[in-house]
Amino acid sequence: MKGSKQETTLSEKDALQDLLDCEKLLMNYYAAALTEGSCKPFRKEILKHYTMHADTQFQVFEQMLSRGYYEVQPAAKMLIDQNAEKFSKVQKQIAAS
């Protein structure tokens, strides 16, 4: 089909964003497989792949961050403290039940 193929070139930012999205999606699939796995060898293999993709996802994130393609807003200390307190309360409730 001559003439029907369209050439598309992704910018570096778009390519990295696409890779980051794919790695996140793969991690979701592996997490689902891990929770559904019923035998240890299968779960071990899935966990190995999950960890590998988590590492890759973080490497891509770091590359995006270093190039200014991904902006991270630091959380306010008050917000961190509030969430830590909430988490602590929930842990105590779970432990008490």
Please check whether residue 69 lies inside any domain of the structure: yes
Band of pLDDT at residue 73, cut at 50, 70 and 90: confident
Looking at residue 52, its pLDDT comes to 96
State the Cα–Cα distance between residues 17 and 14, nearest whole angstrom: 5
Residue 52 lies in a domain: yes
**Residue 4 counted as domain residue:** no
Q: Is 2 within the bounds of a domain? A: no
Q: Say what the pLDDT of residue 3 is.
A: 54
Question: Which residue blocks in 1-97 are alpha helix, DSSP H?
Answer: 12-36, 40-66, 77-96
Per-residue pLDDT band at 81 (split at 50, 70, 90): confident
**Quick check: is 85 in a domain?**
yes
Fill in the amino acid letter for 1. M
Q: Report pLDDT digits (tens) over 17-30.
A: 999 999 999 999 99
* Structural domain boundaries, residue 47: 12-96
Residue 1 predicted with pLDDT over 70: no
Counted domains in the chain: 1
